[in-house]
């Protein structure tokens, strides 16, 4: 490798080597870059190095691919071409043609590494998953964390196995027909080990984010910063054979440039996809409810392939749980569920009670529903609860089965959060491993203060003392350990039943054209308008029609005769509980679900 570094305002830059201990003065190479003199030898794989700018202490390479001794130590040269790939026949997979499975490497298995995660890939194949989405693996300070405090964005966290382990994981996934998506964070960096200020104007005071200083996307020197972001994305897709990237909280990428950085990234990734001859997807997380995020750049949009649609989660969760605190205040009624399952966003230009102002924009009628990734659980909606409790900790099997049916056979791209498919009872909590005592204390205080409001104490009366909620310590190793999946659970009867239900629904989605389509116009929702929906103990039925298929959900405690007009005497394609069919009626047991439609049920 020929070491180069972008430091546009530096007066001098040195390459610092540790074995043997020596320094080499770099020369200006244009556009703010510094490089070794012509004729200098390249650095071999495994060589440790750092850069010293204007006599400052040596710091890691902002584009380091390997930080084996942590984010404060020297970088190590990683030659990505050394790996022997076996996926030459892999033709890729678009996220819009996928069922996605989100996992956190550190808690997915007892080993907590990418190599140990490979051992569970066959479970995902059997489940019916098409794309594995890894939560961030960019190197961060400490051993444990969600990954959203990464500071070495080109490197793979050493506790997960380092960069070659990611190559092994992707290669193994492709060998099983699974695409791989990586969660990346460009809107902020973590608080410890971030040395980018040493090198250049990576940050700006022009804008703010909820997590710290904003990345400089539109001020002086932003061209190099934008290049650092776009090159990072191309690095993962090209050198690690990834199929997709999930971009965290893109609404915090504040950019007043003529061309938004997301549009630039979209066009560059499209060019790379053409060169590689396989689809490459960009999936945005955004809270703006704006279809421009997934509109083509040629039409003035940001060009993302797909985006997360949290409102579908909120609508399903609030309906089946009865929770109305915080942002769930805008959700819970069946008509809101109907809007989410047909129009994507709630609100979509109308009034948001939670935000106390109009919010969002209407999704064009012809826009493919598969551009929106939806879920019954994800890392945020579980981990950002006070106790990290999953829906399975509060809901019975029927409610879990109903949530799965509403998400998995709807008109959107479905995503499953690790363990959801068997109703995992292990929590998934917020955990950190900050080495700075002051930072650790601040995180503890912040976590406690966050849940002092929004009705959390009322939700957890057993964990509340004198009005104070006992929030798990994010710094405690026990909080992390308790969040690991228990892989003995799927063999237990109740868990095995739910797992079989997920498999049946995904097989049905794959085999039934009316369920595979993203045509939102072919989706309608009806509900029992006589039921007292404001009282979840008396909730009744909902029917989602997808072309010629009806999904009937009975959330009540008694059997329901659910009308399915136009179905005739339908076939039962999948059922949670004993289901009967009559002309234009499906009889669904208490806390039961029925998927009915023409033709015989597929073999499972």
pLDDT digits (tens, 9 = 90+) for 266-279: 999 999 999 999 99
Is 211 part of a structural domain of the chain?
A: yes
393 and 255 in a single domain? The answer is yes
Q: Nearest 5°: phi and psi at 421?
A: -65, -20
The residue annotated as part of the active site, out of 164, 218, 285, 389, is 285
CATH number at residue 405: 3.20.20.80
* Higher pLDDT among residues 203 and 600, named by residue: 203
354 and 453 in a single domain? The answer is yes
530 and 577 in a single domain? The answer is yes
pLDDT digits (tens, 9 = 90+) for 459-482: 888 777 767 788 999 999 999 999
pLDDT of residue 452: 72
SS3 content of the chain, % helix, strand, coil (to 5): 35, 20, 45
pLDDT of residue 439: 95
pLDDT of residue 325: 85
385 and 478 in a single domain? The answer is yes
216 and 78 in a single domain? The answer is no
pLDDT digits (tens, 9 = 90+) for 414-444: 999 999 999 999 999 999 999 999 999 999 9
pLDDT of residue 599: 54
175 and 241 in a single domain? The answer is yes
Structure confidence at residue 406 as a pLDDT band (50, 70, 90): very high
Structure confidence at residue 305 as a pLDDT band (50, 70, 90): very high
pLDDT of residue 462: 79
Is 140 part of a structural domain of the chain?
A: yes
Domain boundary among 20, 53, 82: 82
Known catalytic residue at 248: yes
Domain boundary among 59, 82, 105: 82
76 and 143 in a single domain? The answer is no
* Higher pLDDT among residues 198 and 457, named by residue: 198
107 and 25 in a single domain? The answer is no
Q: Which domain holds residue 57?
A: 5-82
357 and 211 in a single domain? The answer is yes
Please tell me the distance from the alpha carbon of residue 370 to that of residue 411, in angstroms, as a whole number. Answer: 7
pLDDT digits (tens, 9 = 90+) for 86-141: 999 999 999 999 999 999 999 999 999 999 999 999 999 999 999 999 999 999 99
- Average pLDDT for the chain: 95
Task: Tally the domains of the chain.
Answer: 3
- pLDDT value at 226 more than 50: yes
Is 503 part of a structural domain of the chain?
A: no
Q: Flag whether the pTM goes above 0.85.
A: yes
Domain boundary among 58, 82, 106: 82
Distant-in-sequence, close-in-space partners of 261: CB < 8 Å, separation ≥ 6:
186, 217, 226, 229, 230, 253, 255
- pLDDT value at 71 more than 70: yes
pLDDT of residue 453: 61
What does DSSP say about strands 244-247 and 281-284: parallel, antiparallel, or unpaired? parallel
CATH number at residue 593: 2.60.40
Structure confidence at residue 569 as a pLDDT band (50, 70, 90): confident
Cβ contact 273:235 at 8 Å = no
- Residue 59 carries which DSSP code? B
Is 499 part of a structural domain of the chain?
A: no
Is 315 part of a structural domain of the chain?
A: yes
464 and 560 in a single domain? The answer is no
pLDDT digits (tens, 9 = 90+) for 345-363: 999 999 999 999 999 999 9
- Annotated binding residues for substrate, written as ranges, equal 246-251, 310-314, 379-384
Which single residue is written with the structure tokens 């996809």? 273
Mean pLDDT of 250-265: 97
Neighbours of 328 (CB within 10 A): 19
- pLDDT value at 240 more than 50: yes
Is 514 part of a structural domain of the chain?
A: no
359 and 437 in a single domain? The answer is yes
Among the listed residues 234, 113, 214, the one whose alpha carbon sits nearest the alpha carbon of residue 162: 113
Mean pLDDT of 51-76: 97
Is 354 part of a structural domain of the chain?
A: yes
> What percentage of the chain exceeds 90 in pLDDT?
89
556 and 485 in a single domain? The answer is no
- pLDDT value at 366 more than 80: yes
Helix orientation angle between 334-343 and 310-321, rounded to the nearest 10 degrees:
160
Query: Positive or negative CA dihedral for 186, 192, 198, 199?
Result: negative
Is 497 part of a structural domain of the chain?
A: no
Structure confidence at residue 568 as a pLDDT band (50, 70, 90): confident
The residue annotated as part of the active site, out of 248, 330, 433, 504, is 248
Range of lowest pLDDT (16-30, 47-61, 180-194, 301-315): 16-30
pLDDT of residue 601: 43
* Higher pLDDT among residues 498 and 468, named by residue: 498
Neighbours of 277 (CB within 10 A): 8
3-state secondary structure of 39: coil
CATH number at residue 25: 2.60.40.10
Structure confidence at residue 508 as a pLDDT band (50, 70, 90): very high
pLDDT of residue 482: 98
Q: Nearest 5°: phi and psi at 602?
A: -70, 155
């Amino acid at each position: 490798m020929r070491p180069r570094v972008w430091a546009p305002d530096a007066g001098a830059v040195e390459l610092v080597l540790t074995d043997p201990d020596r320094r080499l003065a770099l020369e200006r190479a244009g556009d703010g870059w510094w490089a070794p003199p012509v004729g200098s030898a390249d650095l071999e794989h495994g060589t440790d190095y750092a850069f010293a700018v204007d006599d400052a202490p040596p710091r890691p390479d902002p584009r380091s691919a390997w930080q084996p001794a942590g984010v404060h130590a020297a970088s190590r040269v990683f030659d990505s071409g050394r790996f022997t790939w076996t996926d030459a026949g892999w033709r890729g997979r678009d996220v819009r043609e996928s069922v996605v499975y989100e996992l956190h490497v550190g808690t997915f298995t007892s080993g907590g590494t990418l190599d140990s995660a490979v051992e569970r890939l066959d479970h995902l194949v059997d489940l019916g998953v098409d794309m594995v989405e890894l939560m961030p693996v960019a190197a961060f300070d400490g051993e444990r964390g969600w990954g959203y405090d990464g500071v070495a964005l080109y490197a793979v966290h050493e506790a997960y196995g380092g960069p070659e382990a990611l190559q092994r994981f992707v290669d193994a996934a492709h060998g099983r027909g699974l695409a791989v998506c990586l969660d990346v964070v460009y809107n902020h960096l973590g608080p410890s080990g971030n040395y980018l200020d040493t090198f250049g104007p990576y940050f700006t005071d022009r804008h703010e984010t909820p997590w710290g200083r904003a990345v400089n996307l539109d001020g002086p020197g932003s061209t190099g910063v934008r290049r650092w972001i776009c090159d990072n994305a191309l690095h993962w897709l090209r050198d690690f054979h990834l199929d997709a990237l999930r971009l965290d909280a893109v609404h915090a990428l504040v950019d007043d440039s003529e061309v938004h950085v997301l549009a630039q990234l979209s066009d560059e990734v499209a060019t790379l996809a053409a060169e590689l001859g396989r689809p490459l997807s960009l999936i945005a997380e955004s809270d703006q409810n704006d279809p421009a995020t997934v509109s083509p750049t040629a039409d003035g949009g940001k060009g993302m392939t797909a985006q997360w649609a949290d409102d579908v989660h909120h609508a399903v969760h609030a309906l089946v749980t009865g929770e109305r605190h915080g942002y769930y205040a805008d959700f819970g009624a069946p008509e809101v569920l109907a809007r989410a399952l047909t129009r994507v966003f709630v609100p979509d230009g109308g009034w948001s009670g939670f935000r106390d102002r109009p919010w969002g924009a209407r999704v064009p009628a012809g826009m493919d529903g598969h551009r929106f990734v939806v879920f019954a659980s994800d890392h945020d909606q579980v981990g950002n609860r006070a106790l990290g409790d999953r829906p399975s900790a509060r809901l019975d099997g029927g409610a879990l089965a109903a949530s799965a049916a509403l998400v998995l056979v709807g008109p959107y791209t479905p995503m499953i959060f690790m363990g959801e498919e068997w109703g995992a009872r292990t929590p998934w909590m917020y955990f950190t491993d900050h080495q700075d005592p002051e930072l650790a204390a601040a995180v503890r205080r912040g976590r406690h203060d966050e849940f002092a409001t929004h009705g959390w104490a009322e939700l957890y009366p057993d964990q509340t003392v004198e009005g104070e909620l006992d929030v798990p310590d994010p710094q405690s190793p026990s909080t992390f350990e308790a969040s690991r999946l228990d892989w003995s659970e799927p063999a237990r009867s109740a868990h095995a039943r739910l797992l079989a239900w997920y498999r049946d629904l995904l097989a049905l989605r794959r085999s039934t054209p009316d369920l595979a389509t993203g045509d939102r116009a072919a989706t309608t929702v009806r509900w029992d308008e006589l039921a007292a929906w404001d009282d979840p103990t008396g909730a009744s039925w909902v029917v989602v029609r997808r072309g010629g298929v009806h999904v009937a959900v009975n959330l009540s405690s008694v059997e329901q005769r659910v009308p399915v007009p136009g179905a005739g005497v339908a076939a039962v394609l999948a059922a949670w509980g004993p289901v009967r069919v009559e002309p234009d009626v499906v009889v669904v047991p208490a806390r039961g679900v029925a998927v009915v439609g023409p033709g015989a049920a597929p073999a499972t």
